């Protein structure tokens, strides 16, 4: 392996060369490295460190390399340890000795820190687009089938009825928070380390702010030691990516259950299903299962990055070469997961009847009945006790709450011994009140608060989500 400078009398052992090589991974930074180099050349020219002719030669050579990289025609030499050395050698082969002036006032430390920020910024922008596309699929499904009634659960047990659109919009809220975290990480990473040198700052009068502006950064790093060794932005982005994958995993988990015939709420399209090598009857939601599984990979990447950083003194350490493999993979996993989940959601079929049938199990309108009694003056704990007795009576009779007789309602109220409950029991219409509140429609309508599942509230939330997507061009 080629050594830097004249300090060394012999080549690296081949085992060291193989062990330290990173070009297979960091070649992903090639376009960012070339963009940073072009801006650096302009900075060298502004500082009078190279002539206008030399600047033009360097820029032309770098732009030619960028075209080769974009066309995937550049030959990468595995004997050259990283993307930076590959590009520097390739530049020298194309424009001659003037290429040796490119690295003036720059270290690989501030160079790679700049490259990785540029790459991360682009990655965040792509992920934001993927999140918007999945939001669009969720909102589209909510508009198409959102009137279906889903048995909402807690503890995986029947709890209260919700509109299917309300459930889908919960994931839209998660994705909006994911987008916000990435935007926040992007804002914080968007400062340029270029000009920080190896650790102490460049030894030339470079205009760091002008170079930063050319690269689209909002400013420059304030401390050269921190700039060359900081990977907080990788951790922040990984944390946002990992949490987004957790959200996708939760959705994927529900799809795997809902598509089971025992639930039968959804039918995953054939295009997003797989079969079995042995069992001809199988139709498996494998993409959802893989999203669920790959979330573990991304969580591991975050944990690994934190462990990588925890023992590093200032400034740059070679350990930081290992910041990229898991980071690049995590971003790729989220990007592909967003795409496959958007396609799955856009093509999924919904069984309204099966959802409604399931919503009739488990007496999930009981809370709405208790709330109705509270609105008639009962203390909530008394109402809770009354409805618990009504649920027991319904279970004993094998009926739903909205089929209870006046006599059963009267008995449950009187049994409490509460004066208000006894008074309510004497009202002729109390049975109708209970049965009305116990209907699915009555229970849905009762949750009429901002963020609730009442049809009008859900319609308002869905319209707001659609307006937001329209504004984003989705």
Question: The tokens 């856009």 sit on which residue?
Answer: 346
Q: Answer yes or no: are the C-beta atoms of 135 and 176 closer than 8 Å.
A: yes
Identify whether 444 is part of a domain. Answer: yes
pLDDT band at 8 (very low <50, low <70, confident <90, very high): confident
Q: Is the pLDDT of residue 17 over 90?
A: no
Q: Answer yes or no: are the C-beta atoms of 179 and 468 closer than 8 Å.
A: no
Catalytic choice (276, 337, 363, 384): 276
The per-residue pLDDT of the chain, averaged, comes to 96
What number of other Cβ atoms are within 10 A of residue 277's Cβ? 6
Identify whether 198 is part of a domain. Answer: yes
Identify whether 4 is part of a domain. Answer: no
DSSP string, 40-84: HHHHHHHTTSS-HHHHHHHHHHHHHHHHHHHHT-PPP-TTS-SHH
Tell me the sheet residues that pair with 349.
Answer: 267
DSSP string, 368-423: HHHHHHHHTT--HHHHHHHHHHHHHHHHHHT--GGG--HHHHHHHHHHT--HHHHH
Answer yes or no: do 353 and 384 share one domain.
no
Answer yes or no: do 462 and 316 share one domain.
no
Q: Is the pLDDT of residue 131 over 90?
A: yes
Answer yes or no: do 352 and 366 share one domain.
no
List, in sequence order, the alpha helices (H) in 222-365. 224-229, 232-258, 286-309, 324-347, 352-359
Q: Is the pLDDT of residue 2 over 60?
A: no
Tell me the sheet residues that pair with 152.
Answer: 160
Q: Answer yes or no: are the C-beta atoms of 443 and 161 closer than 8 Å.
A: yes
Identify whether 250 is part of a domain. Answer: yes
Q: Which one is predicted more confidently, 10 or 222?
A: 222
What number of other Cβ atoms are within 10 A of residue 4's Cβ? 9
Answer yes or no: do 98 and 153 share one domain.
no
Average pLDDT over residues 239-266: 98
* Rounded CA separation 144/164 (Å): 10
Q: Is the pLDDT of residue 9 over 80?
A: no
Phi, psi of 124 (to 5 degrees): -60, -40
Answer yes or no: do 366 and 250 share one domain.
no
> CATH number of the domain that 443 lies in?
1.10.40.30
Contacts 24+ apart (CB under 8 A), 448-457: 453/152, 453/160, 453/161, 453/162, 453/163, 453/166, 455/147, 455/163
> CATH number of the domain that 307 lies in?
1.20.200.10
Active site residue 155: yes
pLDDT of 4: 57
Answer yes or no: do 284 and 174 share one domain.
yes
- Of the three residues 304, 328, 357, the one that is the final residue of a domain is 357
What 8-state DSSP symbol labels residue 272? Answer: G
What tens digit of pLDDT does each residue of 446-470 get?
Answer: 999 999 999 999 999 999 999 999 9
What tens digit of pLDDT does each residue of 96-127 get?
Answer: 999 999 999 999 999 999 999 999 999 999 99
Answer yes or no: do 311 and 404 share one domain.
no
What tens digit of pLDDT does each residue of 89-102 get?
Answer: 999 999 999 999 99
Identify whether 178 is part of a domain. Answer: yes
Identify whether 6 is part of a domain. Answer: no
pLDDT of 11: 82
Answer yes or no: do 292 and 168 share one domain.
yes
Domain span holding position 190: 112-208+218-357
Catalytic choice (40, 155, 229, 352): 155
Q: Is 204 exposed, middle or buried (0-12, 13-18, 19+ CB in 10 A)?
A: middle
Average pLDDT over residues 334-352: 98
3-state secondary structure of 451: coil
Answer yes or no: do 158 and 292 share one domain.
yes
Q: Is the pLDDT of residue 284 over 50?
A: yes
What tens digit of pLDDT does each residue of 70-91 get?
Answer: 999 999 998 898 999 999 999 9
Phi, psi of 452 (to 5 degrees): -90, 175
Q: Is the pLDDT of residue 1 over 50?
A: no
pLDDT band at 407 (very low <50, low <70, confident <90, very high): very high
* Rounded CA separation 39/45 (Å): 10
pLDDT band at 221 (very low <50, low <70, confident <90, very high): very high
> CATH number of the domain that 51 lies in?
1.10.275.10
Enter the pTM of the model. 0.95
Active site residue 363: no
The structural domain count of the chain equals 3
Taking the alpha carbons of 467, 468, 471, 472 in that order, is the dihedral positive or negative?
negative
Answer yes or no: do 295 and 443 share one domain.
no
Identify whether 419 is part of a domain. Answer: yes
- Of the three residues 357, 385, 415, the one that is the final residue of a domain is 357
3-state secondary structure of 459: helix
What 8-state DSSP symbol labels residue 274? Answer: B
Distances (CA, A) of 402 to 198, 322, 391, 433, 437: 75, 62, 10, 10, 8
Identify whether 3 is part of a domain. Answer: no
Answer yes or no: do 338 and 448 share one domain.
no
| 124 sits in which H/E element | helix 108-145
Q: How far apart are the first and last CA of the chain?
A: 49
Q: What are the strands, taking DSSP E only, across 26-180?
A: 149-154, 157-163
Answer yes or no: do 289 and 181 share one domain.
yes
- Of the three residues 339, 357, 375, the one that is the final residue of a domain is 357
């Amino acid at each position: 392996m080629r050594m830097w400078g004249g300090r060394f009398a012999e080549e690296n052992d081949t085992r060291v060369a193989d062990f330290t090589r990173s070009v297979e991974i960091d070649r992903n930074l090639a376009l960012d490295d070339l963009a940073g180099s072009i801006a650096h050349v302009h900075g060298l020219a502004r500082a009078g460190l190279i002539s206008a002719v030399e600047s033009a030669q360097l820029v032309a050579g770098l732009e030619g390399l960028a075209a080769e990289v974009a066309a995937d025609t550049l030959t990468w030499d595995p004997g050259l340890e990283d993307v930076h050395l590959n590009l520097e050698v390739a530049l020298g082969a194309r424009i001659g000795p003037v290429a040796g002036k490119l690295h003036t006032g720059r270290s690989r430390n501030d160079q790679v820190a700049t490259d990785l920020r540029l790459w991360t910024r682009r990655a965040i922008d792509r992920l934001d687009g993927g999140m918007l596309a999945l939001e669009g699929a969720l909102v589209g499904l909510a508009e198409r089938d959102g009137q279906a009634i889903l048995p909402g659960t807690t503890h995986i047990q029947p709890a209260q009825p919700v509109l299917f659109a309300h459930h889908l919009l919960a994931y839209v809220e998660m994705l909006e928070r994911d987008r916000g975290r990435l935007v926040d990480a992007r804002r914080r990473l968007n400062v340029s380390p270029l000009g920080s040198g190896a650790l102490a700052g460049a030894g030339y009068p470079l205009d760091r702010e002008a170079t930063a502006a050319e690269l689209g950064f909002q400013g420059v790093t304030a401390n050269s030691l921190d700039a060359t060794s900081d990977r907080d932005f990788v951790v922040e982005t990984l944390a946002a990516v990992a949490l987004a994958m957790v959200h996708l995993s939760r959705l994927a988990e529900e799809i795997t259950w809902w598509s089971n015939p025992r639930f039968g709420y959804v039918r995953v399209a054939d295009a997003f299903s797989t079969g079995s090598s042995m069992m001809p009857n199988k139709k498996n939601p494998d993409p959802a299962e893989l999203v669920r599984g790959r979330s573990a990979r991304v969580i591991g990447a975050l944990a690994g990055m934190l462990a990588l950083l925890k023992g590093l003194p200032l400034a740059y350490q070679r350990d930081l070469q290992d910041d990229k493999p898991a980071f690049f993979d995590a971003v790729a996993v989220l990007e592909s997961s967003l795409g496959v989940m958007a396609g799955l959601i856009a093509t999924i079929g919904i069984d309204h009847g099966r959802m409604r049938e399931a919503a009739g199990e488990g007496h999930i309108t009981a809370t709405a009945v208790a709330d109705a009694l509270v609105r008639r003056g009962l203390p909530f704990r008394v109402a809770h006790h009354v409805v618990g007795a009504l649920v027991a009576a319904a279970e004993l009779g094998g009926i739903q709450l909205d089929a209870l007789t006046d006599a059963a309602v009267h008995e449950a109220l009187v049994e409490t011994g509460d004066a208000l409950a006894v008074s309510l029991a004497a009202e002729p219409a109390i049975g109708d009140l209970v049965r009305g509140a116990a209907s699915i429609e009555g229970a849905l309508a009762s949750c009429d608060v901002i963020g609730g599942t009442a049809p009008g509230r859900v319609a308002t939330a869905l319209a707001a989500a659609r307006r937001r997507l329209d504004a984003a061009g989705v």
